[in-house]
Amino acid sequence: MNTIRLLVRIALCAAFSLSVLPEAHAQFTYTFFPNDATIASAIDTDFNFVGFAGGSYDDDFNRNFFPPSSPTVNVIDGASIPNGLDINNSSIVNITGGSLGFTVANDHSRVNVSGGSTSFLLAVDNATVDMTQGSVDDLELQGYRGTVRGGTVITKLVANSQSSMFGDVLGSCIVDVTGGNIAGELDAYNSGILNLYGGQLGGDLYAAHGGTINIFGVGLTTSLLDAHVNNRYSLYSLSGTLSDGAPLNNKNLYILNDGVTYGHSSFNLVPTAVPEPGNVALVLTGAITTTALSLRRRRVSRGLTKTQ
């Protein structure tokens, strides 16, 4: 596993154009959603903005879009948006059907996923994501808050530092998992906090570069299997039952080992019934905690330039 990935492959959604078509920005096509709308058909433009009425990228790919608005956009059956949505200005997007590519929620926007399929969903700034049904291939959260109550996360769920679109760290992104099927791995990076109350956990768990995983349930136990996996991680076997009754049968839990200059990576086992996720303390008295000083800290980055 790569310890820290650039969580935004390219937040411009069409970054391929930067490398293969450096002078082709004038050829980009745009679709704008400044008002409440329902999407039930195919959209194949390069950029699809929710919360703006017009504009374009300039020669240096600065964002020149206007004027701001805060619509509610519903994505329903029949929608096909291979280049995804760029969601801005406290807009709300409800995904109940259809298919989307790379989708990013900025500032105070909100994405509610209750159906459909999304290949990559990212939240930054103060954005939030609430998932109850549907599927997301890669769910990467470095906004204000994320909740997974149902649906399927196919390859990866990440709780990372809350960060601005330029990679400036704003605090911790807190992600609560109370249900659903997390088929892939679950990661807590940097100052990200991953709270596990329930759900079917199919992949391995990782806490690295200062991340924290809090596990709530009954009969929770860990045993150390290997203290030097790849000379970097301590591997634990995690067993017990999550608060919703889902079993943890020798689940692999990786904690980044001691480093020199980095903050703690940790996990907490919390014996409890189902608590209210919003009331979870970030420091848990009485929890069984394993900490590790991880390697050199890297700043979270969306891969954007300061000029955007």
What is the structure's pLDDT at 103?
A: 98
Q: Does a structural domain hold residue 171?
A: yes
In angstroms, the CA 54 to CA 31 distance is 8
What is the structure's pLDDT at 26?
A: 54
Counting residues of the chain whose pLDDT is more than 90, the rounded percentage is 71
User: pLDDT (tens digit, 9 = 90+) per residue, 262-286?
Assistant: 668 999 999 985 445 554 444 343 4
Q: Does a structural domain hold residue 40?
A: no
Give the total number of structural domains in the chain.
Answer: 1
User: pLDDT (tens digit, 9 = 90+) per residue, 67-92?
Assistant: 999 999 999 999 999 999 999 999 99
Strands 264-271 and 288-293: antiparallel
Name the burial class of residue 31, with classes exposed (0-12), middle (13-18) and buried (19+) by CB atoms within 10 angstroms of its CB: middle
Which of 186, 84, 98 lies closest to 135 in space, CA to CA? 98
**Contact predicate 198/177, CB 8 Å:** yes
Tokens 């080992």: give the residue.
257
Q: Does a structural domain hold residue 157?
A: yes
Instruction: Name the token pair of 155.
Output: 């390859």
User: pLDDT (tens digit, 9 = 90+) per residue, 106-140?
Assistant: 999 999 999 999 999 999 999 999 999 999 999 99
Q: Does a structural domain hold residue 92?
A: no
pLDDT at 29 over 60: yes
Q: Does a structural domain hold residue 150?
A: yes
Q: Does a structural domain hold residue 282?
A: yes
- Note if the pTM is more than 0.85: no
Q: Does a structural domain hold residue 63?
A: no
Q: Does a structural domain hold residue 61?
A: no
User: pLDDT (tens digit, 9 = 90+) per residue, 243-268?
Assistant: 999 999 999 999 998 665 566 899 99
Domain that residue 224 falls in: 106-293
In angstroms, the CA 92 to CA 129 distance is 10
